[in-house]
Amino acid sequence: MTTARTSLARRSFRGIAVAAVAGAGIALTPLPASAAAGDPGTVAVAAAAPAPAPNGAAQVAVDTALAQVGDPYVYGATGPNSFDCSGLTSYAYKAAGITIPRTSKLQSTFGTPVAKADLKPGDLVFFYSPVSHVGMYIGNGQMVHASTAGKPVAVVNLDSMPSYAGARRVA
């Protein structure tokens, strides 16, 4: 039985574990639902590692976003236990002391435009036209995002996402 206390303990441990493995150069991705049915907070180690962010604020945002891997997607949620796409990115940057707009559409106009070839960890990446989805680039061709109902916050390959619409650097 999961209580508020065990949920908090699991979340704290998961955040520490994510920070530790990210610092060691290991990326995390959630297990498929069939493999993690007994523990929705379970994550698996992936092959590629996130690259270091270009500055402290971007690194805090990346670390904060990665600490949410496995948390549920809930439309309109801004954390700390569930997120939608722009809720995750605004939550991560708020932890870094930077306030960004709340919606993906508004976030897509905030900061400095960045070419896809020049992405750095912490950059916001946008999808669809008009923009309706945002994630955070973490380096090595990967991003972290809260995608849709039924899927937890996850790390995915940027190129696996449809309809890339651009990127912005906010830190």
Instruction: Tell me, yes or no, if 121 is annotated catalytic.
Output: no
What DSSP element (H or E) covers 127?
A: strand 124-127
Q: Is 40 a catalytic residue?
A: no
Q: Are 50 and 62 in contact (CB under 8 A)?
A: yes
Catalytic position from the list 27, 43, 58, 85: 85
4 is catalytic: no
Catalytic-role residue among 14, 145, 168, 169: 145
80 to 98, 115, 158: CA distances (angstroms): 17, 31, 24
Q: What DSSP string describes 40-95?
A: TT-EEE-SS-PPPPSSHHHHHHHHHHHTTTTPPB-TT-BSSS-B-HHHHHHHHHHH
d(CA 154, CA 129): 22
Instruction: Give every CB contact of residue 138 below 8 A, 6+ residues apart in sequence.
Output: 27, 50, 51, 62, 65, 66, 121, 144, 155
Catalytic residue, from 111, 119, 120, 133: name it.
133
Catalytic residues: 85, 133, 145
